[in-house]
Amino acid sequence: MPNFVYNPPTQRYLDIIYHDQDIVVLNKPSGLLSVPGRDPWHKDSLALRVMRVWPNASVVHRLDMATSGIIILALQKSAQSHMGRQFQQKVIDKTYFARVEGIIEQESGLIDLPLRCDWENRPRQIVDFELGKSSQTKWEIIKREKQTTLVKLTPLTGRTHQLRVHMQHLGHPIVGDEFYATEFGKNISPDRLALHAASITLTHPSSEQRVTFECIPPFI
């Protein structure tokens, strides 16, 4: 990432939605890494902040630095294993909200495009029908605005930058995306990517009951 200056937000140092003996559910702000980066200057992260409160906390999934919203950490090894299996078996449901460039005419759809890393331009991802990994995203219209559209996105797979590349390939990049948006999209949201993890549904590690956690996007 050229000329990358990491300046993580410190207001609401930890925005905790829920916690018990097994898990802690948080609202990660845009601009904060999920886990520490390799560079010592990139050490501050949601995981590090959580471990200052719960030293035994462990990561089970991540969000891109630019993406805000719900993320869950395990507070016990048994919970980490339990949720890890759920992610592997693809039985955890997640929804996102995004503001995208332009007006989408259709009401809903399914994007099915294989993705891989663009090695010469990392961390960018590209569509590749020969070498890409299978990737699917369901989308539906929430609201059409003057120059943008608010959409609900449901990833069926969990590839890097999946939602961002899929919406770009649809012809409607996510507003504020430094990698995939047009200059118009970058200019109307210069401070953040308009992508937010709004809900997650999983089986609780102890109760074995399906639970849903929600967090309203800040840009709605």
Question: Taking the CB of residue 79, how many other CB atoms lie within 10 A of it?
Answer: 23
Phi, psi of 168 (to 5 degrees): -60, -45
Distance of alpha carbon 174 from alpha carbon 186, whole angstroms = 9
CB 59 within 8 A of CB 49: no
Could you give the residue numbers annotated as active site? 64
Question: Taking the CB of residue 69, how many other CB atoms lie within 10 A of it?
Answer: 25
